[in-house]
Amino acid sequence: MAIPFIDLGAQRERIGASIEDGIKKVLAHGAYIMGPEVRTFEANLAQFARSKHALSCANGTDAIELVLLGLGVGKGDAVFVPAFTFVATAEVVPMTGAEPVFVDIDPKTYNMDPVKLEAAIAAVKAEGRLKPAAVIAVDLFGQAADYPAISKITQAYGLFLIADSAQGFGCTIDGKQPLEWAHATSTSFYPAKPLGCYGDGGAVVLNDDALLERLISFRVHGGATPTDAATMNYVHEAKYLNVRIGMNSRLDTIQAAVLIEKLAIFAEEIALRQTVAGRYNEALDGFVSSVPYVKDGYVSTWAQYTIEHENRDGLQVFLREKGIPTAVYYPIPLHQQPGYNMFTSGTGDLGVSEAKAKTVISLPFSPYLTAETQAEIVAAVKAFRA
Ligand SMILES: Cc1ncc(COP(=O)(O)O)c(C=O)c1O
């Protein structure tokens, strides 16, 4: 049987029946938009995230944009993002009128380098064109960014800190989730993500009541918040008093029903992911340029298992011929993308991101990957080296 890159079928075999029951309930009650499952899922998600609030939305990209809008980031603002991440992290910034400023990454964790962040903030201040406003740190491949160090910097400079945890939702540092340090954490429920649904979905977890009110408003067309309605003496439906320019970004009730079941086993799946990653590490360490490095006290959710190889493209072709799918996250850092190379602020020192784009390759991974299949993948990787 062909080896899938991310095996969603094994989980379906395990909890497919309860997911289908959940979907059938939605079909029976017919509240397809903002139905009761959305509220239940948001409550369960907040409990998992140990956050005061969870707000679902249409996808992980909107989740970041909603936070930027809610924080009032916009024209003239600089938002610091890693140069080595999925494009969505940077894409939302110009949508608000602000500009992304690219920051280089740590060569071992692939996450934003706090020293380079501070240098980029200094460069933006010296240039004087933009006002430093926010940092979006990314939990790349599942490992938390260095929030303790990054939050010291954001506090010192008075910047907002947003955790883009689309790949790392559920990751921890000494048992604490990124929200311990960030103003808000965003995530994606894209099917291949560690916590994925059966379509598009996303969420923001946060503790700030006033920010939540604004996110609720921005999520549905900038409708009136209770505070808006009270001050404007308005008594009709909130969505027909449009106080700000928002978007339409709701999580479908059917997706919420799917996520309720998946969230129930998510903590257990994160534990299974550690076993699978551990087996890969043990077998591949010393045979490739690098196996993933997870810092002491950090628990990754292993959205990807990413190794480095000096002949990455050769290895990819070799594995493909053996029926083993791989992926390259990411072949071009953001500052070199045609749609983004006009953003010139920052230090311009992005050499680690450029080098990593040439060597990284991600292997098949899922919490249910068996030792036998892994042995087959490992043997193929080692055969290429030989
Ligand atoms: C780091 C990162 N941020 C944001 C997103 C956007 O999520 P979505 O595809 O749900 O919009 C992704 C998804 O791939 C991601 O990997």
Instruction: Render pLDDT for 20-31 as a digit per residue (tens, 0 to 9).
Output: 999 999 999 999
Chosen CATH of 267-385 out of 3.40.50.800, 2.102.10.10, 3.40.50.1370, 3.90.1150.10: 3.90.1150.10
State what percent of residues in the chain have pLDDT above 70: 99
Average pLDDT of the segment spanning 115-141: 98
Q: How far is CA 265 from CA 171, 186, 189, 306, in A?
A: 15, 20, 15, 24
CB 202 near ligand 1, within 6 Å: yes
Best of 66, 110, 167, 252 to mutate for ligand 1, by most ligand atoms within 8 A of CB?
Answer: 167
Q: Is the CB of 60 under 6 A from ligand 1?
A: yes
Distance 320 CA to ligand 1 centre (A): 25
Q: What is the pLDDT of residue 27?
A: 98
Of the candidate CATH numbers 3.40.50.800, 3.40.640.10, 1.10.150.20, 3.40.50.150, the domain formed by 9-264 belongs to: 3.40.640.10
**Over the stretch 40-68, which tens digit does the pLDDT of each residue have?**
999 999 999 999 999 999 999 999 999 99
pLDDT at 386: 57
Q: Is the CB of 169 under 6 A from ligand 1?
A: no
> Helix, strand or coil for residue 264?
helix
Report which of 90, 86, 68, 85 is spatially closest to residue 340, judged by C-alpha positions: 90
pLDDT bin (cut points 50, 70, 90) of residue 239 is: confident
Three-state secondary-structure class, residue 99? strand
Q: What is the mean pLDDT of residues 155-182?
A: 98
- Per-residue model confidence (pLDDT) at position 226: 86
pLDDT (0 to 100) of residue 347: 95
Mean pLDDT of the chain: 97
Distance, CA of 337 to CA of 142 (rounded, Å): 23
Question: pLDDT digit string (tens) for 309-336?
Answer: 999 999 999 999 999 999 999 999 999 9
pLDDT per residue over 184-219, tens digit each? 999 999 999 999 999 999 999 999 999 999 999 999
Cis amide linkage into residue 330, ω under 30° from 0: yes
Query: Does 356 participate in catalysis according to the annotation?
Result: no
Q: What is the mean pLDDT of residues 89-105?
A: 98
Please give the distance, rounded to the nearest whole angstrom, from the Cα atom of residue 44 to the centre of ligand 1. Answer: 21
Q: Check residue 232 and give its pLDDT.
A: 87
Residue extents of the structural domains in the chain: 9-264, 267-385
Identify the pLDDT of residue 54: 98
Q: Which amino acid is at 345?
A: S
- Cα of 86 vs centre of ligand 1, distance in Å, is 6
User: Residues 52, 116, 152, 193: which is the catalytic one?
Assistant: 193
